């Protein structure tokens, strides 16, 4: 995979796919600019080396033009961070956009409007890709968080531009997540969240690599219920029982220690304001549900994490968005931060948990792409990466 530093970009028009899919407040203010900051090294390098930059990104999932999904706030914030002017295009394509492109000087920066304002973006429409590629000398992908999608601004345009390369953020993500594909052992995967089906590829991938897989979150109750344990009114997916049992069987056959919570915080609902009780016994009362891992599980999981040399974590271990049920997730975040292991966090909820615990600066790598990081770990590649090789 070629890198931007391998290129001579002076005077060249460079189309850069970035990921400025930032959270906005109701008044349109950026609540967290992490994704914009993450691409600054790439943008600065290209601008300082005389490239004419056309930046493209999506924001949200609009099907057509929607002022609430405009990238204008991102353009304003990028200009502040770069301490230089950033032109904001009024649209994605069209005569006005063409005039702005033609007027770019060496080092100049133009941000296109939200690419998802064009319905052809998510369909990888060839005509839209041709519009993106027209007059472009170099394509750079620095949007790891969008590289699992075969969209026009990620894959389509890459196939039409003669020179293509990875930006610094994309390279950093691939390098760190590659440590999960080929981990230094002992390797521990910590997997939480609600839906078993969403995590199947990520559970099955470490079965060939992990020493320990630590399961938490609502997903754990599908595994426990599949074993015949009464879990009250905990969230379970009965149609995934056979799948859960199959995963446990594979883990046992391969010598992987797949661990489930040994004790639980119970409450009448996920909206309750307090834990009703802690238990390590089954069945749970019919009127209660599991909302967090208990202290025995925290101690067991933390000890395993402390012995690991590689840790990958995706998904909270309880209903952590409710402060009453966040204790287990917060303590696991502390354990990952304290571990001497190479630690990698993937997925929006896990990132939020790390931020809430205040330990982000003690994590080896926090991936900017939730879905992309999961797919990369499961398959070892992404459509956006493959497009750079063509």
Specify whether 240 is located in the same domain as 104: no
Question: Which of 120, 94, 108 has the alpha carbon at shortest distance from 16?
Answer: 108
Q: Which of 41-45, 88-92, 236-240 is least confident?
A: 236-240
Specify whether 161 is located in the same domain as 195: no
Question: Which of 244, 220, 216, 243 has the alpha carbon at shortest distance from 231?
Answer: 220
Q: What is the mean pLDDT of residues 103-129?
A: 98
Q: Is residue 49 part of a domain?
A: yes
Q: How many independent structural domains does the chain possess?
A: 2
Residue 294 CA, chain-centre distance (Å), reads 27
Specify whether 166 is located in the same domain as 188: no
Q: Is residue 242 part of a domain?
A: yes
Specify whether 206 is located in the same domain as 136: no
pLDDT grade, residue 338 (50/70/90)?
Answer: very high
Q: Is residue 386 part of a domain?
A: no
Q: Is residue 388 part of a domain?
A: no
Tokens of 14: 């460079």
Specify whether 67 is located in the same domain as 157: yes
Specify whether 298 is located in the same domain as 327: yes
Give the pLDDT score at 196.
Answer: 66
Alpha carbons within 13 A on the beta-carbon side of 17: 34
Give the pLDDT score at 212.
Answer: 96
Specify whether 137 is located in the same domain as 196: no
The answer to whether 341 touches 374, Cβ cutoff 8 Å, is: no
Selected residue with higher pLDDT from 200 and 62: 62
* CATH (domain of 145): 3.40.50.1260
Task: Please identify, among 171, 205, 234, the residue that sits at the C-terminal boundary of a domain.
Answer: 171
Give the pLDDT score at 348.
Answer: 65
Q: Does the pLDDT of residue 105 top 70, yes or no? A: yes
DSSP 156: I
Q: Is residue 212 part of a domain?
A: yes
Specify whether 135 is located in the same domain as 202: no
Helix then strand then coil, in percent of the chain rounded to 5, is 45, 15, 40
Helix (H, G, I), strand (E, B) or coil at 390: coil
Q: Does the pLDDT of residue 246 top 70, yes or no? A: yes
Selected residue with higher pLDDT from 175 and 194: 175
Q: Is residue 140 part of a domain?
A: yes
Residues 6+ apart with CB under 8 A from 157: 15, 17, 129, 132, 133, 136, 139
Task: Please identify, among 171, 193, 209, the residue that sits at the C-terminal boundary of a domain.
Answer: 171
pLDDT grade, residue 369 (50/70/90)?
Answer: confident
Question: Which string of DSSP letters, residue by residue, matches 73-94?
Answer: HHHHHHHHHHTS--EE-SSSSS
Task: Please identify, among 125, 152, 171, the residue that sits at the C-terminal boundary of a domain.
Answer: 171
Report pTM.
0.82
Specify whether 324 is located in the same domain as 365: yes
CA–CA separation, 344 vs 309, rounded Å? Answer: 11
Tokens of 59: 């924001």
Specify whether 280 is located in the same domain as 365: yes
pLDDT grade, residue 379 (50/70/90)?
Answer: confident
Specify whether 104 is located in the same domain as 213: no
Rg of the chain taking only CA atoms, in angstroms: 23
Give the pLDDT score at 208.
Answer: 81
In the block, residue with structure tokens 């309880």: 318
Q: Which residues are catalytic?
A: 35, 195, 348, 371
Q: Which domain holds residue 287?
A: 182-379
Give the pLDDT score at 326.
Answer: 94
pLDDT digits 0-9 by tens, 227-238:
999 999 999 999
Q: What is the mean pLDDT of residues 355-370?
A: 88
Give the pLDDT score at 252.
Answer: 95
Specify whether 189 is located in the same domain as 286: yes
Would residue 23 be called left, alpha or beta, if left means φ above 0 and alpha means ψ between -120 and 50 degrees?
beta
The answer to whether 147 touches 141, Cβ cutoff 8 Å, is: yes
Q: What is the mean pLDDT of residues 240-269?
A: 95
Q: Is residue 389 part of a domain?
A: no
């Amino acid at each position: 995979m070629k890198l931007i530093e391998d290129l001579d970009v002076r005077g060249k028009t460079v189309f850069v796919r970035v990921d400025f899919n930032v959270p906005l407040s109701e008044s349109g203010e950026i609540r967290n600019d992490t994704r914009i900051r993450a691409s600054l090294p790439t943008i600065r390098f290209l601008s300082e080396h005389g490239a004419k930059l056309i930046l493209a990104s999506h924001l949200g999932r609009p099907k057509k033009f929607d002022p609430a999904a405009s990238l204008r706030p991102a353009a304003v914030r990028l200009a502040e961070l770069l301490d230089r002017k950033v032109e904001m295009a009024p649209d994605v394509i069209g005569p006005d956009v063409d005039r702005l492109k033609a007027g770019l000087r060496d080092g100049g920066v133009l941000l296109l409007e939200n690419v998802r304002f064009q319905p052809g973006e998510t369909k990888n429409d060839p005509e839209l890709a041709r519009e993106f590629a027209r007059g472009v000398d170099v394509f750079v992908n620095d949007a790891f968080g969008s590289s699992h999608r075969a969209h026009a601004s990620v894959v389509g345009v890459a196939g039409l531009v003669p020179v293509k390369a990875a930006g610094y953020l994309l390279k950093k993500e691939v390098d760190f997540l590659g440590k999960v594909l080929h981990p230094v052992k002992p390797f521990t995967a910590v997997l939480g969240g609600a839906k078993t089906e969403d995590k199947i590829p990520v559970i099955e991938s470490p079965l060939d690599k992990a020493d320990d897989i630590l399961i938490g979150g609502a997903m754990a109750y599908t595994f426990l219920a599949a074993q015949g344990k009464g879990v009250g009114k905990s969230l379970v997916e009965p149609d995934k029982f056979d799948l859960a049992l199959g995963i446990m069987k594979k883990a046992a056959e391969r010598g992987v220690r797949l661990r489930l919570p040994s004790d639980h915080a119970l409450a009448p609902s996920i909206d309750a304001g307090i834990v009703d009780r802690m238990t390590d016994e089954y069945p749970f009362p019919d009127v209660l549900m599991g909302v967090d891992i208990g202290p025995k599980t925290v101690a067991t999981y933390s000890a395993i994490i402390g012995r690991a040399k590689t840790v990958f974590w995706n998904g909270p271990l309880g209903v952590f968005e409710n402060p009453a049920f966040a204790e287990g997730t917060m303590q696991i975040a502390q354990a990952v931060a304290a571990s001497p292991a190479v630690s990698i966090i993937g997925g929006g909820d896990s990132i939020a948990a790390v931020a809430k615990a205040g330990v982000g600066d003690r994590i080896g790598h926090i991936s900017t792409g939730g879905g992309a990081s999961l797919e990369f770990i499961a398959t070892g590649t992404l459509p956006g990466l493959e497009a750079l090789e063509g």
